[in-house]
Amino acid sequence: MNGRKKLTVKSKEKIKQLVIGLGVLSIVAGTYLLTKGGTFMETYWSIFLGIILIGSAYTLPNEKHD
What is the predicted pLDDT for the residue at 17?
86
Query: What pLDDT, on the 0 to 100 scale, is given for residue 66?
Result: 44
Report in angstroms the alpha-carbon separations of 21 from 13, 38, 55, 65: 12, 22, 12, 26
**What's the confidence (pLDDT) of residue 30?**
84
Which pTM does this prediction carry? 0.63
* Res. 61 pLDDT band, cuts 50 70 90: low
Query: 15, 63 in Cβ contact below 8 A?
Result: no
Quick one: pLDDT at residue 20? 86
Question: What is the distance between the alpha carbons of residues 63 and 11, in angstroms, rounded to a whole number?
Answer: 12
pLDDT tens digits, 7-47: 677 777 888 888 888 888 888 888 888 888 877 787 888 88
